[in-house]
Amino acid sequence: MVRVLTPFEYFEPKTVEEASNLLRDYGEKVRVLAGGVDLLARIRRREIQVEGLVCIQRIPGLDYVRQDSEGLKIGALTTLRTLERSQEVRENYRLLFDAIHSIHSIQVKNMGTAVGNLCIATPASDVAVSLLALDAQMKIAGPSSERSMPLENFYLGVKRTALQPGELVTGILVPPLPKGSFGAFMKLVRTATDIAKVNVAVRATLRNGGCEEVRIALGSVAPTIVRARKAEEALRGTRLEREAVVEAAERAAEEVNPITDIRSTAEYRREMVKVLTRRAVEKIKVEAGVKG
C-alpha cells in the first residue's frame, strides 16, 4: 500500500484576503491546495515537506470561465475539465482546448485546476505553453494589493515563480484573439498519459496570406517554458513559405536549452523542437489555406 501523507496543519480561508494573510504569515512553511493532484503526490513522494496547507477550495467566486470584451477569464478554481467542456474555449481558444485535450486522465482534469497547473511551474506544462502562445496574463492578489503579470514573466526557474510572500494567483486573462488568428499545439510523448518530452504551441495572425504576428512557445526544453523569439522573427512578415518555416524551425532549436533526463536526451529534444515547430506552422498553413 502507498505511503501515507506526512501530517500537516490545515487552513480553510473563506476569502482571498484571508488566504493571502495566511500565506504571508507562514511563508514557505505552507502551500496552497487547489486541486491537489500535484501537491499531494509530491508530499507523498517526500519531494517537499509542508507544515501546513492553505486550502482555497471553499473560497467563493473563483470557479468560473467566461468570455467578454477583455478576453477569456479563468478563475483560480476552474478545473481543466470545466475548460475542456466550455464552448467558449473549444470554439474561440482552440489552442488552449487542444492542450487540455491532450492531457488524458479524466481524473486529473476533474481535480486539477488550470491556475494550479501554471503555479506548479514545471517547464513541461502543456497548458502553460498554450497560454504563453496566447499572451495570457496572471491575476495576482497580495495581502494589500492586486497586480497582473504576463505569464511570460511569471517563471523564474524550475518550480520557481515570481510570486512574492503572501501572493496567490486568483485568475488568468487570455486577451481576445485578433481576426485571422490560427493556432497549433503539438507534443511528443512516450505514452498518452506521460509528461511531454517536448511540447510546442504556435499562434499566428495571418492577413492577406501574410504572417502579421506570431508566437512560438516551447516546453520541456529549458528551465522554464520559453518563447522562441528569433524563430518568430524568421516568420513575421513572410507568407510562411517553406524556406521561412525551415529557417524558423532551425532557429527555434538553437534558442532552447534542453537537458538530458529519463525522458529524452538534450540532443533529441533539440532536434524535436525543430520538427515540432515546423509541423505546427505547417498545420497552421493547412488550416488557414496558405499554399506553398
Partner 1 sequence: MRGKQVIKLTVNGEPYEVEVEPHMTLLEVLRDKLNLTGTKGSCGVGECGTCTVLVDGKPFLSCLTLAITVRDKNILTIEGLARDKKLHILQKAFLEHGAVQCGFCTPAMLLTAKALLDENPNPTREEIREYISGVLCRCTGYVKIIEAIMSAAEEIRRRGSEYE
Question: What residues make contact with partner 1 under the rule CB under 8 A?
Answer: 1-12, 33, 36-37, 40-41, 44-45, 53, 55, 57, 81, 104-108, 110-111, 192-193
Minimum distance from CB of 2 to partner 1 (Å)? 3
Minimum distance from CB of 169 to partner 1 (Å)? 19
Nearer to partner 1, 33 or 96 (CB): 33
Nearer to partner 1, 44 or 236 (CB): 44
Q: Is 74 exposed, middle or buried (0-12, 13-18, 19+ CB in 10 A)?
A: buried
Q: Is 191 exposed, middle or buried (0-12, 13-18, 19+ CB in 10 A)?
A: exposed
Nearer to partner 1, 40 or 173 (CB): 40
Asked if residues 32 and 165 have their Cβ atoms less than 8 Å apart, the reply is no
Nearer to partner 1, 111 or 249 (CB): 111
Minimum distance from CB of 11 to partner 1 (Å)? 7
Nearer to partner 1, 5 or 156 (CB): 5
Nearer to partner 1, 44 or 90 (CB): 44
Could you tell me the three cell numbers for 121?
Answer: 511551474
Q: What is the largest CA-CA distance in the chain?
A: 61
Measure Cα distances from 252 to 7, 117, 216 in Å: 45, 25, 8
CA atoms within 13 A on the CB side of 197: 21
Nearer to partner 1, 40 or 266 (CB): 40
Minimum distance from CB of 55 to partner 1 (Å)? 6
Minimum distance from CB of 273 to partner 1 (Å)? 26
Minimum distance from CB of 46 to partner 1 (Å)? 11
Minimum distance from CB of 71 to partner 1 (Å)? 27
